[in-house]
Amino acid sequence: MYKEHKIALGIPVFNEKAKVPSIIRRLEAVPFIDEIVFVDDCSDDGTYEFLKEQGRFAVIRHSQRCGAGSAIRSFFAHLLDSGCDIAVVMAGNDKDRPEEITRLLDSIIENGNDLVQGSRYLSSGSSGNMPLMRIIATRWVHPLLFTLASGKKMTDTTNGFRAVRVSLLRALWPDLQQDWLDKYELEPYLLYKSIREGYKVAEAPVTKIYPDHKLGYTKFSGLGDFWSIMRPLFLLKLKLRR
């Protein structure tokens, strides 16, 4: 089934040298992926150098730190003329399980969806090592506001583990290039725009387990980052941004 498609996997990273070896080992579970692209957002801990030494992946490097959204957009830009027809995005801090990529792809290939959002909160999904405030924000607050703004009920709207048709990215490309989407805005923005533009959007159950604090728990922190994932909902609903 997958042989009929050209599938690319994008993994944005920033200072993840301690976790990248585990990600690479896990990637053995997805031999059907045609191209694996790491986007290094100007790491200074040796992440980029380690990835280049592997000689097995495409590695895009930002000359200065731009943000998670910008890194994902660099991956999308790489794909527009690559011949790939499905893009998968996975976290670069070892939170996601590559073997579950098939759940996302099957929903696109078999069910005809254009974007499939991974959800840790569906009945067959799971999560772990999350503080209470993060659970409240990702399980209830953001999904509720997103559902009200978009008009489509969703259970996990901040999860970056997803698959999307490259044709959708190409159609939305002018909007995706807006520089206000450079940080954490791009992921909820793409989900919202896909729904509002009439594309077929679905969720699939996935696992998201946060790594041990000793390895660097997450780069997401503070009210500024929380507002970064919230503001697309307000700006788009109020028509202050396109």
What tens digit of pLDDT does each residue of 52-82 get?
Answer: 999 999 999 999 999 999 999 999 999 998 9
In the prediction, which pLDDT does 224 show?
A: 80
The 8 Å CB, 24+ separation contacts for 73-76 are 73/176, 73/177, 73/181, 73/182, 73/186, 74/39, 75/8, 75/10, 75/12, 75/37, 75/39, 76/10, 76/169, 76/173, 76/176
In the prediction, which pLDDT does 24 show?
A: 97
In the prediction, which pLDDT does 65 show?
A: 97
With tokens 């959007």, the residue in question is 201
Domain range annotation of the chain? 2-237
Q: Which residues of the chain have pLDDT under 50?
A: 217
- Torsion sign, CA atoms 22, 24, 27, 29: negative
In the prediction, which pLDDT does 210 show?
A: 86
* The CATH number of the domain covering residues in 2-237: 3.90.550.10
Cα torsion at 17, 22, 23, 28 (round to 10°)?
A: 140
Alpha-helix residue ranges (DSSP H) falling in the chain: 20-26, 47-54, 68-79, 101-109, 132-136, 142-150, 166-176, 186-196, 222-237
Cα–Cα distance, 169 to 73 (Å, whole number): 10
**Cβ contacts of residue 64 below 8 Å, gap of 6+?**
42
Residue 202: count of CB within 10 angstroms of its CB: 17
Cα–Cα distance, 215 to 213 (Å, whole number): 5
In the prediction, which pLDDT does 213 show?
A: 57
In the prediction, which pLDDT does 218 show?
A: 59
In the prediction, which pLDDT does 131 show?
A: 82
Cα–Cα distance, 48 to 60 (Å, whole number): 9
Candidates 156, 37, 26, 160; CA nearest to 98 is 26
In the prediction, which pLDDT does 130 show?
A: 84
